Amino acid sequence: MERLDKFLTNAGVATRSQIKAILKTGRVRVDGVAVKDGSVKIDPEKQAVTLDGETIGGKRRMVLMLNKPEGFVTSTEDPRDRTVMELLPREYAHQDLKPVGRLDKATEGLLLFTNDGDLLHRLISPKKEVPKVYYARHEGEAGEEDVAAFAAGLTLRDGTVCLGAKLQPLGPGESLITVCEGKYHQVRRMMASRQMTVLYLERRSEGGLELGALERGKCRELTEKEIQFLEEQAE
């Protein structure tokens, strides 16, 4: 058994305070009966809960986009460092959201979260070739030989073989790098293998979705249209 207001909050209907106001209007029904008291206990497995006539599930599919700042590790928990989960608003705490891939502690930019396990695994699978675009400030200047080496697929110093990637020089000490996999510190290691130490790294897009005007440290939910677009990229 579960409190009705908690069930509605966990389902992502609205925040706890907003749920209280919604309940007062009588728009929420349990087995067809209007319920205005959020403390009422329900059994989501056996009882039908509706809002304005639409059935509410326990947890709706959700994808969030975060503009990650540096200094946070991509993990659900860590004994030493602050994690990206601390950047998500409290109303998402019970949605079973998990990071899609990872950004290292010093890297900033676009990081997705979802509670859809199938979508998560498809997005991080190299076989799906979902592109991720990074902006890098680095030592040295990328030339034609570096571009060709990235396209052919680099073998890193420890023997790790990387798939072909796109290196787009923007000028002295600046480049865009597009990869379709997510090996450990991959972009930094790829650049280092070509004697271009990365000084700053930001992921700007994934699967064709871009950060846009999203502020650093803030997140937003993807629209259903954006989620469908993302799914098409991971087919």
Residues tagged active-site: 104
**180 neighbors 130 (Cβ within 8 angstroms):** yes
Please give the Cα distance from 171 to 109 (Å, whole number): 21
Residue with structure tokens 């029904």? 29
Instruction: Please tell me the number of Cα atoms within 13 Å of 79 on its side-chain side.
Output: 0
| Among candidate residues 162, 208, 155, the one with its CA nearest the CA of residue 182 | 162
Please give the Cα distance from 143 to 145 (Å, whole number): 5
Please give the Cα distance from 217 to 74 (Å, whole number): 13
Please give the Cα distance from 99 to 104 (Å, whole number): 12
Distance of CA 164 to the CA centre of its chain: 24
| Among candidate residues 185, 59, 67, 182, the one with its CA nearest the CA of residue 130 | 182
H/E stretch holding 34 reads: strand 33-34
User: Coil, strand or helix: which one is 55?
Assistant: strand
